[in-house]
Homo-oligomer: A and B are copies of this chain.
Amino acid sequence: MSETTTLTITALQERVEAIFRKAGLNAVQAGAVARVIVAGERDACKSHGIYRIEGALRTVKAGKVKPDAVPELLLTEGSAIVKVNAQGGFANPAFELGVPALAERARKLGIAALVINDCTHFSALWPEVEALTEQGLAGIVMCPSYATVAPTGGNKPLLGTNPFAFGWPRKGTSPYVFDFATSVAARGEIELHRRAGKKLPEGWAIDADGNPTTDPEAALAGAMLPFGGHKGSAIGTMVELLAGIMIGDLTSPEVLDYLGTTTLSPFHGELIIAFSPKAFAAGRPGDPFARAEALFEAIVGQGARLPSQRRFAARASSQADGVVLTAAEIEHLDRLLALGLDSIA
């Protein structure tokens, strides 16, 4: 077994933040981006952990995200919409900036929305729905991606993998959280099959002629398919409408036109909807949080799982014992810190 190093979450945060500072990100960008990467690594969600640092740096190096952006909070008196302009920076510091105002309005009005514009979207949505649940709020978060998914019945990439995430707060335990692509698979999973020389499961993708394929190369040249047939296709379309067009930001085909590649983080906007269960349930019988626990018990009681449980178990372990990295991972972090953007080919 190879040598490993155990870091506290704080130590890992410092290390990742230092890499981004070295690469030219200002403090708000580096801190926020590092936090979501460390959250991924902490939760043993390796696909959203330190593995992602290079992609973020590649986007910086390509000039497709502003490393020194300072997000701007745009508040309109008497509106349920809180807007943050990311000023061409990453979505993460913009989200952090907007959350307090969003939470305040959701508590006051019952429902409110946070719109992030002109951002480079980075990584998963679950850190964002979890940030809402920490405020005692339920939340829905969605955003477009790049055009890689064909609408059901079509044969060309148009929709993005358009993630859709939801969170519900729970007292004394981790929240109910899901976060998934509205495509059958993530694009990275197809790439992994290609590298491993493995065939894709049926139903994941079509080739450039619109025929079903299990060949990863043909799939990458063709299009991915939405999850759940026409229903997933419709949800993916809804994400383009609400979290692209409605908020005045790019749709998935527009993102792909703008970037010309799917190897950089996408530039677009994001829609976050926050609900105050307390405000909604006011005057009605029953405590919504206690009632939700009964539902979760009924799900778990019949042998089904709540989403994100593997992540939460890993989190508890990381919080207690630290995050374990391999010697190769530590070496990789050291190299990124030493070279900054020069580490990117």
Contacts and interface: CB of A to CB of B under 8 A. Distances in A.
Interface residues of A, number: 70
A299 to B, nearest CB: 5
Given A109-B79, A153-B305, A299 B237 contact: yes
Contacts of A241: 138, 168, 176, 292, 295
A154 B81 CA distance: 39
B247 A284 contact: yes
B79 A279 contact: yes
A166 B182 CA distance: 16
A111 interface: yes
Interface string A148-190: 0011111110100000001010000000101010100000000
B154 A302 contact: yes
A198 to B, nearest CB: 20
Interface string A121-156: 000000000000000001010000000001111111
A128 to B, nearest CB: 16
A248 B302 contact: no
A246 interface: yes
A59 interface: no
